Structure 1
Amino acid sequence: MVHCPSRRLTDRAERRRRSRHLRLCRNRHRLIRAHTARGRVTYRAPCDTDIQKTRSHPDNRKLAKMMVHSHDGDREQLRPLFREADDSEQQIDAYLGLGTVFVAEDDGEIIGHLQLIAGDEAELKSMAVAESRRGTGVGRALVRAAFEHCRQNAAKRLLVATAAADVGNLRFYQRQGFRMLRVERDAFVPSTGYPDEIVIDGIPLRDRVWLGLDL
Structure 2
Amino acid sequence: MDMVIRTAVPADYEALGEITAQAYLADGHLDFNEDDAYLHVLRDVAGRAGQAEVLVAERDGRVLGGVTFAAPGSPLADIAGPDEAEFRMLAVAHAARGQGVGEALVRACIERARAVEGVTGVALSTQRSMAGAHRIYARLGFVRTPERDWAPIEGLTLLTYRLKL
- The answer, yes or no, to whether TM exceeds 0.5 is yes
Match of 1:187 in 2: 152
CA contact (8 A) 2:53 2:69 kept: yes
Partner of 1:206: 156
Deviation (angstroms), 1:209: 0.3
| Shift in CA distance, 170/68, structure 1 to aligned 2, threshold 3 Å | same
Shift of 1:108: 0.7
Q: Which runs of 5+ in 1 are unaligned?
A: 1-63, 190-204
Tell me the distance in 2 between the aligned counterparts of 1:90 and 1:105. Answer: 23
Matched with 2:137 is 173
Deviation at 1:171, TM superposition (A): 2.4
Identity of aligned residues (%): 28
1:111 counterpart = 2:64:
yes
Match of 2:77 in 1: none
2:2 matched residue in structure 1 = 65
* 1:162 maps to 2:126: yes
Cα gap change, 1:76 to 1:137, in 2 (>3 Å): closer
Q: Distance in 1 between matches of 2:99 and 2:69?
A: 22
Aligned partner letter, 1:99: A
SS of residue in 2 equivalent to 1:164: coil
CA distance in 1, matches of 2:150, 2:6: 35
Contact 2:84 2:122 in 1 (8 A): yes
What is the TM-score with the length of structure 2 in the denominator?
Answer: 0.71
Give, in angstroms, the shift of residue 104 of structure 1. 0.7
Larger radius of gyration, structure 1 or 2? 1
Paired residues, what number? 137
Task: Provide the alpha-carbon RMSD of the alignment.
Answer: 2.4
Name the amino acid aligned to 2:48. L
- TM-score by structure 1 length? 0.56
Kindly report which structure 2 residues correspond to 1:16-165, keeping only aligned pairs within 5 A, or say none.
Answer: 65-73=2-10, 76-77=13-14, 78-83=16-21, 84-85=23-24, 87=30, 88-89=38-39, 91-92=41-42, 96-97=48-49, 98-119=51-72, 120-154=83-117, 155-165=119-129
Q: Aligned-pair distance for 1:210? A: 0.7
Equivalent position amino acid for 1:165 in 2:
S
Aligned-pair CA distance for 1:170: 2.1
- In structure 2, what is the Cα distance between the partners aligned to 1:65 and 1:168? 22
